[in-house]
Amino acid sequence: MSTDALPEIGLGTMGISDPERIASAIEMGYRHLDTAQIYENEEVVGKGIELADIPREELFVATKVWADSLAHDDVIASTETSLSKLGLESVDLLYVHRPIESYDPEETLPAFDALREQERIKHVGVSNFTPEELDTAREVLDAPIFAHQVEMHPLFRQADLLADARRHGTNLVAYSPIAQGEVFDLPELTAIAEKHDATEAQVALAWLVETGAVPIPRSQSDAHLHQNLAARNIELSAGDVNTIGSIDREKKLFE
């Protein structure tokens, strides 16, 4: 298995149906791969891993248990199915995808602990939790919460959850980091992008990295995959960061 450190920028795989796209991303430098049962592409990700000429131990692979499989035994069974689809003996990180439907902390979370003890998963994560739900999960779990995955971008900055992650030493993983393209319409990001000879998407990703989050952008284009990964080389000034942090608009894309 890989190390405990999450790479600065990962690969979101929702909507990717071609294993070659996964393999190409790995070979250009992506090491953190994020999938989920509900994406129905764990086999695609697994085949991409198999196609890429990169040792498994260099990759950090995460998947998520969907809301209809969060009863104790269903967590175990669905995770075994996920591992089979991925073609892996274990994953580095397993998330509760959303605390809805069959989620019950006292039922769900001990199953995650059990999978960790069996070395079928290395780390436990949660996704789309409130601060109160995080507190409850920490009380129930034996394992620490390694990562909390949430919607986060310049129009939805998640200050409370970022503070919670910093306080507890949890990785905050940001999905939809470029706000489904809406960052291209933000004049503040356009001005910063021009200064750094970058795109607005790259600035959004660099801002997330600077704040301590781990963005997981997705793309169907090799050119955009390269651009996204290159965002880790952009050094924003304190003024840039403050400008983005003071954008007087908020838009949440997912409920």
Catalytically annotated residues: 39
Closest C-alpha among 132, 139, 71 to residue 107: 71
Helix, strand, coil percentages (3-state) for the chain, rounded to 5, are 50, 15, 35
**What is the distance between the alpha carbons of residues 191 and 206, in angstroms, rounded to a whole number?**
14
User: CB 186: neighbour CB atoms within 10 A?
Assistant: 21
Residue by residue, DSSP assigns 79-140 as HHHHHHHHT-S-EEEEEE--S-TT--HHHHHHHHHHHHHTTSEEEEEEES--HHHHHHHHHH
HSE-CB at 38 with a 13 A cutoff on CA atoms is 11
Contact 183, 160 (CB under 8 A): no
Strands (E), the chain: 11-12, 32-34, 60-65, 91-96, 121-127, 145-151, 171-175, 213-215
